[in-house]
Amino acid sequence: MSKVTAQAKTILLVFAATLLGLLITNGAGILELHNWSDWKPYVTAGVAAVAVYVYNFLSPYDSRYGVGSK
């Protein structure tokens, strides 16, 4: 797996898991996209995904990509 693919996979997986957890917690229907009037929690989910990516990128112990990769 290339470094770019590993980076994209990290961002997408964490975003999807965070968004799904947020939907389940709020009791929102996954297929009811037209009722999402408060968009701020979903942007926060995106920020959480990027934060995990930044952590992995800066970690010297993560060999997939970033500072710790060779």
User: Is residue 60 pLDDT above 80, yes or no?
Assistant: yes
Does a structural domain hold residue 26?
yes
In angstroms, rounded to a whole number, what is the distance separating the alpha carbons of residues 53 and 29? 28
pLDDT tens digits, 7-20? 888 888 888 888 88
Token pair belonging to 29: 């229907």
Does a structural domain hold residue 14?
yes
Q: Nearest Cα to 3, choosing from 70, 69, 65?
A: 65
Computed on alpha carbons and rounded to an integer, the radius of gyration of the chain in Å comes to 15
In angstroms, rounded to a whole number, what is the distance separating the alpha carbons of residues 37 and 14? 23
Domain span including residue 23: 3-30+37-58
User: Is residue 31 pLDDT above 80, yes or no?
Assistant: no
Give pTM, 2 decimals.
0.67
Does a structural domain hold residue 67?
no
